[in-house]
Amino acid sequence: MKRIRFFSGLLIAVAAAGSFLWGEERLDREAIAARHSICSDSAEMTVPLGNGEFCFNADGTGLQTFAGSAFDHRAWFAVPLPAGRTAEDVPPAGTFQQGRSTGPDPFPPGKEDLFEWMTDSLHPMNLVRVRFVHADGSGLASGEVTGVNRKLDLWTGLHRTGWMWQGEPVAVETAVGDDASVAVRAVSPALGSGALAIAVDFPYPTSAGEKWAGDFDAGHLHRTELAAAGEGNITLVRRFGEHACGNFDYSVNIAAAGDASIERIGPNTFLILADSDTLDLLLSFGNFAPAGRAAADEPDWTRFGPEQETPVSGSYYETVQAESAVRWRSYWQSGGAIDLSESTDPRWFELERRIVLSQYHMKIAASGSYPPSEAGLLAVDQWRGRFHMEMVWWHLAHWYLWGRESEAAKPICVYQRFKAQARDLASQLGMKGYQWQKCLGPEGRTAPWAGNQVLLWKEPHPIFFAELDYRARPQRETLEKWRDLVEGTADYIADYAVKGDDGYFHLAPVMPPSEVGYASDTSFDLLYWQLGLRWAARWEERLGFDPDPVWLEIAGSMAPLPVGDDGLYLRSAEWPVRKAWEHPDLIGAFGMMPPLAGEDAETARKTLRLVYDTWDWSRCWGWDFPLMAMAAARLGEPRLAVDSLLLDTGRNRYDERGVCLGGPCPYLPGNGGLLYAAAMMCAGWDETIEGEDKNAETGVQTTAPGFPGNGWKVRWEGLRAAP
C-alpha cells in the first residue's frame, strides 16, 4: 500500500514526471568519476588526499611547497592554561551556568582568560610541512614554478602534477595510504643534480596560519627528537612538554628509497637529497596522544620504520599507491551513484560535478574517528577546527541514503562517546536525559558561546540518526544499539517543553537554526521536537515496550506553527516581520522532516516561494540551498528544487576542487547537504514509495520525483529513500 499523507495530490503529479525501470544494466561509475577529475594549473591551490582519518593537502607541486597542511582526526592539541589557572578552574561541561536556561549562556566576569583558553583548546594540529626547496634548504619563490599541469584521478586517489623549475621538468605523484601515511615519487634532473631537494619541517601547533597551519618560527616551544635511524630511514618523536596542556606527542617516520640522504638542518627541519633523478619518499605518523581513543583502536606505530620490515616487493611509494587505488575503487563501487549525462538542461554537468566531488570530500573528511569541522581536514577554521553537533546531521546523514552507512560508523559514535558529558550537562542545567553539546573537540567539552544551551535543533539528531540506521539495518541489534541514546534524548526533549495555560506545550527560550536571535516556539524546532518524540515512541514499540505517555502527550500537543498576517509561516510569532536572511529554517523543516501534525501543505508551498523569491541569498550559508531543495521536492516543486541547488550566488559556489564555499571557510556542510538532497530527489521519500521497501540495492532506475521531467534524465542506483 502506498503511504500517502496530506501531500498525496502534489505527489501524484510529481510521480507522473518520470517512469520506473529496473534493469540488468549498471551505471559506469568509473566514467562518472573520470569526467570530474580535478584538473588545474594552479601552483597554490591545495587538493586533499586522504582516507577518512588522515589528510595530506597537496599544492600544485605535489607537496606543500606554497600551501597545505596535514591533519588527522586523532591529532589534537591544547595550549597551556593561563598563568595561575589549573584544570579545576575549567568547567567540565564548558559552561558555568546552573539551572534551567532562561536565555543566553552567561560567562562570568573576571574569567576572560579562561574564555579565550576554552575557545582555543583543543584544536587540530598540523602534523608536517613537506616542500621542494633549494639545495641549501631555502624555500622556492612562487615565480620559480611554472607550467603547472596537475590532475587528481578520483578513481585511484592519485595526484599527478608536472611543472618546470629553472628550465628542468619536474614530475610528482602523491598518494595517501590506508593509515596516516603519504608517499611521493618525484622525478627530475634537478633532483639528481642536487639543485632541488625536499624539506620536511614541523610547526608548533596553533589554530592560526594562512598557507600552513601552525607557527614555524616558534622552535623554542617544541622539539623533534631522533628515536631511531637507518639507511635513508629515521623515526622522530615530536615533543611539546610544558608548552602544551597535556601530552600531545606523536611520532613520525621518514623513509627515502635508495641512497637518498636525510639530514637535520634545523631544530625541527630535515633536508632530503636524492642520489638520482627519482626520489621515492614516505612519511607516516602515529602514536597520537591523547585523542580520546582506545589503544586497541589505533596501533602504536609509524610505517616502515628502521626496526620494521620493508615491503616484500616494490617500493614504499608503490605500496601506498596500490593501497590508495584499492581503497578508492572500492569506495566508488559501493553504495549509490547518479548519472545526469543524458539530460538536456545545460546545468547537468555542474550539478553532477558537485555531486561526485562532494562524495570525494565527504569520504576524506566525514568518515573518521570524529565528525569533521565545517572546513573538514582542509584547514583550521574560525571555530578552531572543532565540530558542531548541529552540523553532524549535515556531515553524516547522507551516508545512510547513499547506502554507505559503514562510512558513518566511526564518526557517529560521537554520541556514545559523549553521552556521559551530555547527561552531566543536562543535570547541571536542571534537566533530564542528554543535553547535547554545541562545539566540540575530542575532550567532549563545548567551547563557550552565548547560544550553546538554547540552540535546540541539535537535540533530536540522535533520534533521526537512529531511524536512518534502522532503515538501513532493520534488526534487533540496531534497536538495542540506539535504545539508550533515543530514550535519553527523548527525556530531555520532553523535559524542555513546558505546558502553557492554553494547553499547548511551548519551547522557550529557543534560538532557531538561523541563529538570528532568541525567541519562543520557532517553527523548525516545534516540528523537530514533535518528530523526535514520535520517533522515540515508535522506537519503544519496535522494542516491544509501551512508549512513555508523556512523550506522546507532548508530541500531540505542541504549540501551533506561527503564521503571519499574510497567512504564511513565520520563524516565530514574536517576529511578525520576516528576517529574510540566514538559514531559511521556517521552511526547511518541510523538507528535512516528513509531514507532521499541524502542517499545511499549501501554506508551506506559498511560504517556500516567498522565501525563494525574497531571501537575501548572499547572507546565507552553503547548506541552505539543499535545505530549500529538499523542501521544494517534498512540496511538489521539482524545478524549484533543482534551481535551489544551482542558485547563482556567491554562497552557493563550489570551487575547482568541488568544495562548497558557502561559509567563512571551505564549507563542507554544503557538500553533505547536497548529497542528502540529491539522493532524496532521486530515490524519493516515504510518501513516494510503494510498500515498505525504501531501499534500491540493485539495478538502474530513472524515476526521480525531485527532478522536473523537462530537461532532466536522471539515472541512479543504490540509493535509499528519505524518511
Mean pLDDT of 672-692: 89
Pairing outcome for strands 196-201 and 269-273: antiparallel
Specify the pLDDT at position 210.
85
Do 627 and 719 form a contact (C-beta atoms < 8 A)? no
Tell me the per-residue pLDDT of 256-289, one tens digit each, with 9 for 90 and over.
Answer: 987 899 999 999 999 999 999 999 999 999 888 6
Specify the pLDDT at position 473.
97
CATH numbers and ranges of domains, the chain: 8-22+341-717 (1.50.10.10), 40-79+121-332 (2.70.98.50)
At 272 the three-state DSSP class reads strand
Mean pLDDT of 29-51: 98
Confidence band (pLDDT; 50, 70, 90) for 692?
very low
Alpha carbon distance 665, 484 (integer Å)? 36
Q: Is the pLDDT score of 291 beyond 80?
A: no
Mean pLDDT of 530-554: 98
Specify the pLDDT at position 310.
55
- Amino acid at position 210, single letter: E
Mean pLDDT of 686-714: 82
All three cell numbers of 531, joined, read 518528530
Do 587 and 525 form a contact (C-beta atoms < 8 A)? no
Spatial neighbors of 8 by CB under 8 A, at least 6 apart, are 687
At 209 the three-state DSSP class reads coil
Q: Is the pLDDT score of 150 beyond 60?
A: yes
Q: Is the pLDDT score of 560 beyond 50?
A: yes
Confidence band (pLDDT; 50, 70, 90) for 709?
very high
Specify the pLDDT at position 34.
98
Of 392, 406, 126, 121, nearest to 245 by C-alpha is: 121
Question: Range with the lowest mean pLDDT among 85-94, 313-322, 468-477, 587-596?
Answer: 313-322
Specify the pLDDT at position 222.
96
Mean pLDDT of 152-159: 98
Tell me the per-residue pLDDT of 108-140, one tens digit each, with 9 for 90 and over.
Answer: 999 999 999 999 999 999 999 999 999 999 999
Q: Is the pLDDT score of 688 beyond 90?
A: no
Of 413, 377, 337, nearest to 683 by C-alpha is: 337
**Using CA of residue 60, residue 62, residue 65, residue 70, what is the dihedral sign?**
positive
Confidence band (pLDDT; 50, 70, 90) for 549?
very high
Alpha carbon distance 49, 177 (integer Å)? 9
Tell me the per-residue pLDDT of 315-370, one tens digit each, with 9 for 90 and over.
Answer: 889 999 999 999 999 999 999 999 999 999 999 999 999 999 999 999 999 999 99
Mean pLDDT of 371-400: 96
Specify the pLDDT at position 17.
37
Confidence band (pLDDT; 50, 70, 90) for 247?
confident
Q: Is the pLDDT score of 418 beyond 50?
A: yes
Alpha carbon distance 656, 411 (integer Å)? 27
Specify the pLDDT at position 188.
98
Specify the pLDDT at position 697.
53
Instruction: Give this prediction's pTM.
Output: 0.94
Specify the pLDDT at position 259.
83
Mean pLDDT of 536-558: 98
Question: What's the chain's average pLDDT?
Answer: 92
Alpha carbon distance 42, 48 (integer Å)? 14
Rounded alpha-carbon distances, angstroms, from residue 535 to 4, 411, 413, 484, 596: 18, 22, 20, 14, 11
Specify the pLDDT at position 246.
85
Specify the pLDDT at position 516.
95
Do 131 and 140 form a contact (C-beta atoms < 8 A)? yes
Specify the pLDDT at position 162.
98
Question: Range with the lowest mean pLDDT among 195-209, 244-258, 280-294, 392-406?
Answer: 280-294
Question: Range with the lowest mean pLDDT among 26-40, 219-233, 526-540, 557-571?
Answer: 219-233
Cell 623533534 belongs to residue: 224
Specify the pLDDT at position 699.
87
Tell me the per-residue pLDDT of 167-213, one tens digit each, with 9 for 90 and over.
Answer: 999 999 999 999 999 999 999 999 999 999 999 999 999 998 889 99
Q: Is the pLDDT score of 514 beyond 80?
A: yes
Cell 547513499 belongs to residue: 402
Do 297 and 310 form a contact (C-beta atoms < 8 A)? no
Question: Range with the lowest mean pLDDT among 184-193, 285-294, 666-675, 697-706?
Answer: 285-294
Whole-number percent of the chain with pLDDT over 70: 92
All three cell numbers of 448, joined, read 563557550
